[in-house]
Amino acid sequence: MNIILLGAPGAGKGTQAKMLEDKFGLVQLSTGDMLRAAVAAGTEVGKVAKDLMEAGELVPDEVVVGIISDRVDEEDCKGGFILDGFPRNTAQAEALDAMLEEKGLSLQHVIEMKVNPDILVERITGRFSCGDCGAGYHDIYKPVSKEGTCDECGSTNLNRRKDDNEETVRSRLEVYSNETEPLLPYYQGKGILRQVDGMASMDAVAEELNAILSA
Ligand code: ADP
Ligand code: ZN
């Protein structure tokens, strides 16, 4: 089973993708994570991506399409994958269709996580995570119990993403509504669009996703 999680920045795609990996044996393919790794490693892709990401703009289509195409060919994706953060515009969606057809693959579900845009800036600008174990936190909604220390593993290596500042978040949200939202009618037309309430609790969202994937 191959699926897409669609939703604005901060909608909770990453959190739910991790849950679906464990529960359904799927592999999460996050273009954002892959690009951040490329930036950290200073690769050619990373050099192209760095400034665009810091400005909240999209990295060129051919770059992300190439990354996804290579990644999907790897052995661990044979059992199915979750696309998180890709496609992000119509050109990428069309490239994805062509790529899947060529590889003899298909999409079963495109799931939109619906959220109220007003709360996204607060959700995103307050979030941080543990650089060692990956646990996610939020200043208000999920604070650590001991200042500066990860509850899960005791690490003091807590980080904020460089693009999680208010100005960049506003441009990311604008890019989402201008470029990515038009994908909803695109997938609706193919009859594979599903919707979940991303404002519900993490557990409730997980349950809705379970129901869709188990049906
Ligand atoms: P979010 O969805 O929370 O904004 P991501 O981690 O998915 O964050 O992406 C961070 C940044 O990486 C984006 O703002 C963009 O610059 C770049 N990026 C990620 N995926 C894509 C993509 N499919 N196409 C172009 N740029 C991308
Ligand atoms: Zn930790």
Tens digits of residue pLDDT in 100-122: 999 999 999 999 999 998 899 99
Give the distance, in angstroms, between the CA of residue 90 and the centroid of all CA atoms in the same chain. Answer: 17
Q: How confident is the model over 83-98, as pLDDT tens digits?
A: 999 999 999 999 999 9
**What confidence score (pLDDT) does residue 118 get?**
84
pLDDT band of 12, cuts 50, 70, 90: very high
Q: How confident is the model over 185-211, as pLDDT tens digits?
A: 999 999 999 999 999 999 999 999 999
Task: Give this prediction's pTM.
Answer: 0.93
Q: What integer is the mean pLDDT of 152-168?
A: 96
Average pLDDT, the chain: 96
Report the distance separating Cα 106 and Cα 3, nearest Å. 9
Residues noted as catalytic: 13, 88, 127, 161, 172
Nearest CA to ligand 1 atom 4: 9
Ligand 1 centroid – CA 9 distance (Å): 8
Ligand 1 probe mutation, 172, 173, 177, most atoms within 8 A of CB? 172
Report the distance separating Cα 167 and Cα 116, nearest Å. 18
Ligand 1 centroid – CA 212 distance (Å): 25
Q: What integer is the mean pLDDT of 122-126?
A: 94
Report the distance separating Cα 200 and Cα 115, nearest Å. 9
Q: Is the CB of 56 under 6 A from ligand 1?
A: yes
Ligand 1 centroid – CA 61 distance (Å): 11
Report the distance separating Cα 135 and Cα 143, nearest Å. 11
**What confidence score (pLDDT) does residue 117 get?**
85
